[in-house]
Structure 1
Amino acid sequence: MNHNTPLSPRPLHHLAEGRRRVLTAAQLRAHGVTAAQANERCRPGGPWQQFLPGVVLLHPGPPSSQERLQAVLLYASRERTTGVPAQPAGDEESGPREPEAMITGLAALTLHGFTATPPLASLNMIDVLVPRTRRLRSAGCARIVRGADLPRPEQLTGVPVAPVARALADAAAALTDAAAVLRLLTEAVRGGHCEPAAVVRELNRARLLTLPHVVDAVDSLVAEGRALAEERLYRLVREQGLPDPVWNVDLRLPDGSRLGGLDAYWPEHAVAVELDTRAHRRDDALWSEYARKREHLEHLGITVVHLTPRKLRDSPEQQATVVRTALRASTDREAEVHVVVLPR
C-alpha cells in the first residue's frame, strides 16, 4: 500500500455533510475516494466541482468567500500533491519553520478590515504568498506571489494572512493606478494599521520605489504620517502635563544663519523635540542630516530629543518621561549661544 491507495470506502455523502466543504485530491484519497469516483462526481451537473487543480468543492453551487480562501490556500499547500499534512510554523525543539502559504494583497487587506478594498466576493483574483523556491503556477482565482523571508502570518477568520505592511506591498505590485495605491496607503496610516516607515520598508524590499505612481503615493503617505505624529505629540504634551512649548519653529543665530526646524521647543530650558518621520528608503541621507543638525544644536547647548511616531503611539508615558527628564536636567541652564526663534 502507498499514499495513492485509498482507504476502505465510505458513503460519499458523508463528506459533503461535514464542516469542510473544500478538500484536496490527496485528502479525498485519505477518505477512501478514488480518483475515478472524484472525477465522476465532478462531471458537469454532478454534486461536486473541481474548483482549482487538485482542489475539489463538495457542492455544485458557487463557493462562499471563505471557501475561496480555503481553496486557494489548499492549492498552494504541499499537501495538495503529497498528501502529507503541513508542518507547524515551529516549535521549541526544531525552531521556527518558514510559513507554507498565506493570503496577501487586496484579499488580505480586506480581511484586515480595510474599506478601500473590494469585498472578497468581488475579487477576481486572490493573492497567496508562498516561499520563492516553490514550483507553482497561478491558476483560476489563485494568483501566486513568491517571496523570500516570508513574514509570520496572522490568523484572521481562521486563515493565515500576511501582515498589513507586506499585504500592502504585494497589492501595490499588482496595481497601476496611483490613486488606488494612495487610498490604500492612506487608510493604512489613518486607520492605525501600521506606521509609514514599516510600509516604506516593505515597498523598498519589493523594489517598488522606482515606480513613479508608488513614489508619489509614498510622498503623500509620509506627509500623512507626519501630520498624525504631530497630533500625537500635541496630545502627549497636553495629557502628560508637560509645560507648553513653542510649536513648529525655526532656530537661527543672531547673524541670520539657519540652525534648522524643530517640532517643539522650550526656550527657557533650551530643550527641543524633533519627530523622526523619515521614509526608510535605500539611503540614509536624511538621517545624516538629522545627525548633523542635532550635533550642531547640542554643541550650542540645546538638548534635542528625537521621538518616533511608533514610540508616541505605543508608549506615550515613557516618551513623556524622556522629555520631562530633559527639561529637569536643564534647570538653571541656558543655551551657550543666544538663538532667535521664528515660526516655521
Structure 2
Amino acid sequence: MQRGTWSTDPQLIHGPMVVRAAALIAAGVPGRTISRRCAPGGPWQRLMPGIVLLHSGEATDEQRLGAALLHGRENATLTGLWALRRHGLERLPPPQDVHILVPAERRVTSTGFVHVERTRHLPRPHLRGDLPVAPVPRAVIDAARRRTDEDEIQTMMAEAVQRRFCTTDLLARELDQAGRTGTALPRKALVPLLAGARSVAEADAWHLWRRSGLPPGHWNVPIFDANGIYIATPDFWCDEIAFAWEIDSYRHHASLEDHRATVARNARYVAAGIVVLQTLPSRLRTEPELVLGELRAAFRTARDRPRPNVKRAA
C-alpha cells in the first residue's frame, strides 16, 4: 500500500480516526513508526491496548465507542447505557464505561473504559449510525443489571415501555434469559410495569395502593362516557366505583398548555360524575400514610354515590 493511503482506508478504521495497530502494520506501516507517533508529544496516541487514535487530542465519545468495538473484534455489539443513547432514550444516568457483548468463546477481557461481557445469547444487533447496538430490551436489562439505584432502573425501564421502544413482555423475556446475576432489582422494578404503571411515580403509587387494602384496578386505561366520548386516561382507575387517581407533578404542569390540559381533564371528570383524587408524586414517599388516608376517604366517597354511566376501554 502506498505510504499515507492507509489513513483513509475505511477497512482499517472504525469510526473517526480509530484503528487497530495490527491493521496498520498489515497495511504496511512499520511498527516503529506507530511507536514513534504514539510516543509522548507525538501526533497519535494509544487509546487502549492495540488500538490507535490518529490524533493527540482527547478522544470523542464516538471514538471511544469505535475503539471498544474494535477491542471486542468481530460481532462485538454495543449494549447498556450507550446503546440506549443510540436508540434515542433520554432519561438515563451518565454511562461510566462502554459495555460491549462478545461471543462466549471469545477471549477478550475488560480493560480501561471498556466492560466486556461474554454471552451465549448474543443478540442480533441494530445499526444506529455505523455502530452495531443491542435491541432496546436487551440493552435495558444489561444496563439495569449493573445499576444499584432502584429509581434509575425504574426510570430506564418505564421510558422504554412508555415511549414504545419495547414491551414489558420483552423486558421480562430478557430478564429470564439473563439468569440471576444482577437481576433482583430489575425484577422488582418490572412488577408494577407489568401491572400497567409507566413511571417511577406510578410505580410508587402502585406499591401504595397495594398497601391500602382497596380493590385492584387498572393503570393507564382510557375512560369514555355513555356516548363513547373520551374523558381521560387516569393513572389509576377503579372501574367498580368509577374512581380515578391522578399522580400530577409540578413538572408536568410547568407550562400553561399543560396546566390548561389538566384543568380541562378535571372538568370532564366532574361533568361525568367521576370522583378523582390528585396526588403529588413527592407525597407518595414523604407522606405515605396521609396519602393512604386520602385514598381510602376518596374511595368511600366514590363507593357511596351512584356509579355514573362511564366505562373503560376493553
TM-score by length of 2: 0.60
Report if aligned partners of 2:69, 2:100 keep a CA contact under 8 Å in 1.
Answer: yes
Are 2:172 and 1:200 equivalent residues in the alignment?
yes
Which of residues 3, 20, 25 is equivalent to 1:10? 3
Partner of 1:260: none
- Write out aligned runs for 1:57-136 (5 A): 57-77=53-73, 86=74, 100-118=75-93, 123-136=95-108
Structure 1 counterpart of 2:124, one-letter code: R
Measured after TM superposition, the shift of residue 227 of structure 1 is: 3.2
State the partner residue of 1:191: 163
Residue 177 of structure 1 aligns with which residue? 149
* Superposition deviation, residue 30 in structure 1: 2.9
Give how far 1:223 is off. 2.5
Residue aligning to 2:39: 43
Asked whether the 8 Å contact 1:50–1:57 carries over to 2, the reply is yes
- Tell me the SS of whatever aligns to 1:151: coil
Shift of 1:168: 0.9
Of structures 1 and 2, the larger Rg is shown by 1
Equivalent position amino acid for 1:190 in 2: Q
Q: CA deviation at 1:123?
A: 3.1
Q: Which residue of 2 aligns with 1:141?
A: 113
State which drifts further: 16-25 or 57-66: 16-25
Give the C-alpha shift of residue 102 in structure 1. Answer: 0.8
* Pairwise CA distance, 1:117: 1.7
For the residues of structure 2 that align with 1:249 and 1:37, how far apart are their CA atoms? 75
Code of the aligned partner of 1:220:
P
Shift of 1:204: 1.6
Q: CA deviation at 1:15?
A: 2.0
Which of 218, 227, 230 aligns to 2:219? It is 227
Matched, 1:32 2:28: yes
Which range moved further: 206-215 or 31-40?
206-215
- CA separation in 2, counterparts of 1:63 and 1:137? 21
For 1:64 and 1:210, locate their aligned partners in 2 and report how far apart those are by CA, in whole Å.
30
Aligned partner of 2:101: which letter?
L
Distance 1:65 1:211 in 2: 28
Residues 70 and 212 of structure 1, relative CA distance in 2, 3 Å threshold: closer
Q: Distance in 2 between matches of 1:47 and 1:16?
A: 16
User: In the superposition, relative to structure 1, how do residues 145 and 135 fare at CA in structure 2: closer, same or farther (>3 Å)?
Assistant: same
Paired position in structure 1 for 2:126: 154
Q: Distance in 2 between matches of 1:238 and 1:76?
A: 56
1:280-299 equivalence runs, <5 A: none
Change in Cα spacing, 1:130 to 1:210, as seen in structure 2 (3 Å) is: closer
**Unaligned stretches of 5+ residues in structure 2:** 198-217, 230-236, 241-310
Give the CA deviation at 1:181.
0.6
Contact 1:9 1:33 in 2 (8 A): no
Which position in structure 1 is the counterpart of 2:283?
none
Structure 1: any 5+ residue segments left out of the alignment? 1-7, 78-85, 87-99, 240-246, 251-342
1:189 Cα offset (Å):
0.8
Aligned residue identity for 2:148: T
Are residues 29 and 183 of structure 1, via their aligned partners in 2, closer, same or farther at CA, if it must alter by over 3 Å?
A: same
CA contact (8 A) 1:22 1:56 kept: yes
Secondary structure class of the residue paired with 2:166: coil
Alignment partner, residue 330 of structure 1 = none
* 2:38 counterpart letter in structure 1: C
1:212 Cα deviation from its structure 2 partner: 4.1
The TM-score, its normalising length taken from structure 1, stands at 0.55
Structure 1 residue identity aligned to 2:44: W
Percentage of matched positions with identical amino acids: 35
Indicate how the Cα distance of structure 1 residues 45 and 210 shifts in structure 2: closer, same or farther if over 3 A, else same.
closer
CA distance in 1, matches of 2:2, 2:9: 16
Pair 1:17–1:202, CA change in 2 (3 A): closer
Q: Is the 8 A contact 1:172 1:181 kept in 2?
A: yes
